[in-house]
């Protein structure tokens, strides 16, 4: 997203970001995102790793990078505007409390991407840099990628463990691929089927190749891209296959069967998003779980009578993580750490926007009626359950058992870009 404070024609920025990973699945009719309504995944209590079973009997040693998505935006009010102080607090929590060994830094604004990536390096975290712009011209999107990639390369040269993703679901975020001036226009086009799939694929292939070329020019580490589950991507352009994953099945082996198809390229597989919202039945809604808020009301209201359930969210996340561990995937990035503009309202369930949030922490406003109020967050059950899983899995031998392999040493900073280009002084 661009990072301004509008609301995308009625759909809040927080709600849109929470759902964009799954919109393509719904619009394009992908199988697997709305699975059987039988037994939910995650019967094992949160905090206890799954025993080795059919999905884990491969002899591989688990996920290498256990991560969370940290999204950078301006926020919808002065109270939720991006803050370097809050960012430092959050990254410290990712490293020390969530026990992650990686963080995905995604969003817009080269300076704040650089600042957040540098902070993560100071804490010894692996960093997955994924710059994203929404509804901006293609040239501007590529320039934003280049500048962000230069800083990522500067960190990599200093010894930080950094990888670059050239973007996320370009057909949705980048104009000129699917007809429509805005994200919402393009969603409507996809839902109505008023587009030429052959022409759309050609344009997507072209822009993806251009983005990969820019990424290679500015960054010498491993390169990837975050695709929707049904996207046709030429993965020969990249070193790592990246998939935003929002499927729902009643049995773990069904996830494993579906995920194996992404291994056919013979490259590491990173789950660049996975998650669900905070109410009963949310996993079956896949990437559209957020779509139960009426933003036409002031203040916005929850539609219907969903039952808040942090346990549902926690069990889905940890159940999927167990599947990923069993498959020995390269990376798993829980979506997402925080949605600041979706506050928790235990005093008013009708206005509890956190219920429709994928975040693993819940924001509380000091004054619930004032959007500009100061606020703080507290961990949800999903945070504590993931922290327990990450902590236990991280102690096991294997490539993912070493948090902070490069170790925070307080010496990371933004050096000159390649060829003297794009120096970004963060500290």
pLDDT the model gives residue 1: 30
pLDDT the model gives residue 372: 84
Mean pLDDT of 198-218: 98
- Cα–Cα distance for residue pair 240/36, rounded to 1 Å: 30
Token pair belonging to 4:
């301004």
**Is residue 322 within a helix (H) or strand (E), and if so which, with residue range?**
helix 310-327
**Is residue 335 within a helix (H) or strand (E), and if so which, with residue range?**
none
Mean pLDDT of 287-295: 89
176 with 204: CB under 8 angstroms? no
User: In 303-421, at which residue ranges do the beta strands (DSSP E only) sit?
Assistant: 331-334, 361-365, 375-379
Token pair belonging to 339:
């949605």
Residues 6+ apart with CB under 8 A from 354: 278, 339, 342, 343, 344, 345, 362, 363
- Out of 74-78, 225-229, 369-373, 408-412, pick the least confident: 408-412
Per the prediction, the chain carries an average pLDDT of 83
- The secondary structure of residue 135, as a DSSP letter, is S
Residue pLDDT, tens place only, 78-102:
778 889 999 999 999 999 999 999 9
For 356-379, the DSSP string reads G---SEEEEESSTT-TTS-EEEEE
For 13-58, the DSSP string reads HHHHHHHHHHHHHHHHT-TTSS--SSSPS--SPTTSPPPP-GGGTT
Given pLDDT bands bounded at 50, 70 and 90, which one contains residue 415? very low
Mean pLDDT of 95-121: 97
* Residue 395 burial (CB count, 10 A): 11
* Residue 74 burial (CB count, 10 A): 19
- The secondary structure of residue 279, as a DSSP letter, is B
Q: What is the pTM of this model?
A: 0.83
pLDDT of 424 above 50: no
């Amino acid at each position: 997203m661009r990072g301004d404070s509008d609301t995308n024609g009625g759909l809040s920025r927080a709600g849109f970001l929470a759902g964009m990973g799954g919109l393509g699945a719904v619009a394009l009719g992908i199988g697997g995102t709305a699975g059987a309504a039988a037994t939910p995944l995650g019967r094992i209590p949160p905090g206890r790793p799954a025993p080795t079973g059919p999905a884990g009997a491969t002899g591989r040693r688990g996920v290498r990078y256990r991560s969370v998505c940290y999204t950078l935006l301006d926020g919808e009010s002065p109270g939720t505007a991006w803050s370097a102080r809050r960012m430092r607090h959050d990254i410290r929590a990712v490293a020390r409390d969530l026990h992650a060994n990686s963080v995905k830094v995604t969003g817009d604004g080269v300076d704040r991407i650089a600042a957040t990536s540098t902070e993560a390096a100071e804490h010894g975290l692996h960093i997955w840099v994924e710059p994203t712009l929404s509804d901006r011209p293609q040239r501007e999107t590529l320039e934003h990628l280049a500048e962000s990639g230069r800083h990522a390369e500067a960190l990599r040269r200093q010894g930080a463990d950094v990888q670059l993703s050239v973007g996320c679901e370009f057909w949705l975020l980048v104009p000129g691929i699917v007809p429509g001036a805005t994200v919402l226009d393009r969603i409507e086009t996809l839902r109505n089927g008023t587009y030429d799939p052959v022409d759309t694929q050609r344009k997507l292939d072209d822009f993806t190749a251009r983005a990969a070329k820019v990424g290679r020019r500015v960054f010498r580490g491993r390169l990837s891209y975050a695709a929707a589950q049904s996207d046709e991507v030429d993965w020969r352009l990249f070193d790592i296959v990246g998939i935003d994953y929002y499927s729902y099945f009643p049995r773990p082996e069904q996830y494993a069967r579906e995920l194996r198809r992404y291994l056919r390229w013979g490259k590491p597989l990173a789950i660049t998003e996975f998650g669900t919202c905070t109410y009963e039945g949310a996993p079956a809604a896949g990437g559209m779980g957020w779509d139960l808020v009426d933003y036409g009301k002031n203040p916005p209201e929850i539609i219907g009578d969903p039952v808040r359930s942090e346990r549902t969210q926690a069990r889905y996340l940890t159940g999927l993580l167990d599947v990923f561990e069993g498959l020995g995937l390269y990376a798993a990035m829980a979506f997402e750490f925080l949605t600041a503009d979706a506050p928790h309202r235990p005093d008013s369930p009708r206005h509890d926007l956190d219920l429709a949030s994928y975040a693993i922490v819940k924001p509380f406003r000091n004054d619930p009626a004032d959007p500009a109020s100061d606020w703080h967050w507290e961990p949800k059950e999903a945070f504590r359950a993931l922290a327990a899983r990450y902590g236990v899995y991280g102690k096991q031998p294997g490539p993912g058992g070493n948090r902070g392999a490069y170790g925070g040493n307080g010496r990371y900073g933004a050096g000159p870009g390649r060829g003297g280009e794009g120096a970004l002084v963060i500290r």
